[in-house]
Structure 1
């Protein structure tokens, strides 16, 4: 199973369309996960035309996006129980808020966004993943998203790229 994890697309705003590098990766995906801050239902529609989409809304998403996706959710894919959350809030780091959102849940993976800083790491027995952003790298040198292969092995890979066209 191939999963593409993206988020913080901020369209319109940080771009007028999703980058071709991301869309090409989504072409053969079984599932696309979005960590929030879509900014437009058009992003949801575009991604849904390529594969099944699961996601959450972020702090800048309006009522249209909040009607399409929840604030957080639990999903099961390829034998993994995953918690999805944007990670915004007050106090603590984005990562700490994401971990706390699933403190009472038995999850293998926590997927979050908000910071635009890509992360793949283990923390207290849970795999934490933040795809960064394919459209708003902020002060980082690259745009990013994650591919996650789930089979006999679980293989997350951070995809870094320079051109967001």
Structure 2
């Protein structure tokens, strides 16, 4: 199962649309994961139509319609991999222990908010992933997103992709 991991797209406020390379990845994916800050209902609708399957949550910049439509924490069982998606996890210091406490019984937690890519393992063995933002790099050298695969009940081949302007 091929996954695309996105967060903090901020369409259309920070960008009019996703970069072409991201849309190509979406078209090739079996599942798109979005960790919030969509910003517009229209973009959520577009990604929902284009993705084969979509799992996402709302973020702090998402209005009332998206907050009603999307959960604050989304969950999915993907061929035995227990996935969670949340927008905010707090500061980097202590993140792993906080996420273990707040999100038990997950194998992978995808999060956003900071626009800073992240890949770590918690003390309980949960993989924490932040794909950054494909449209708003903030203080990062590049805009980014992630791809990954699920094979034989495991998350493998996690790749951070730089989006060149």
Q: Distance in 2 between matches of 1:76 and 1:94?
A: 26
Over the aligned positions, Cα root-mean-square deviation in angstroms equals 1.9
Gaps of 5+ in 1: none
Alignment of 1:84-103 (within 5 A): 84-87=85-88, 92-93=90-91, 96=94, 100=98, 103=101
Conservation of the 8 A alpha-carbon contact between 2:96 and 2:121: no
Conservation of the 8 A alpha-carbon contact between 2:96 and 2:122: no
> How many correspondences in the alignment?
160
- Which residue in the other structure is 2:57 paired with? 56
Conservation of the 8 A alpha-carbon contact between 1:120 and 1:158: no
Query: In structure 2, do the counterparts of structure 1 residues 97 and 42 end up closer, same or farther at CA, with 3 Å as the change threshold?
Result: farther
- Which residue in the other structure is 2:112 paired with? 113
Conservation of the 8 A alpha-carbon contact between 2:112 and 2:131: yes
1:144 is aligned to 2:144? yes
Query: When the two structures are superposed, what TM-score results if normalisation uses the length of structure 2?
Result: 0.88
1:160 is aligned to 2:155? no
- Which residue in the other structure is 2:14 paired with? 14
Deviations 1:91-137 (A, max 9, x none): x5067568635525211111100000011221211111001000000
Deviations 1:17-70 (A, max 9, x none): 111111010112111110000000122122122221111111111011112210
Provide runs of 4+ in structure 1 moved above 2 Å. 94-102
Query: When the two structures are superposed, what TM-score results if normalisation uses the length of structure 1?
Result: 0.88
Q: Distance in 2 between matches of 1:115 and 1:99?
A: 18
Moved more, 102-111 or 126-135: 102-111
Query: In structure 2, do the counterparts of structure 1 residues 79 and 95 end up closer, same or farther at CA, with 3 Å as the change threshold?
Result: farther
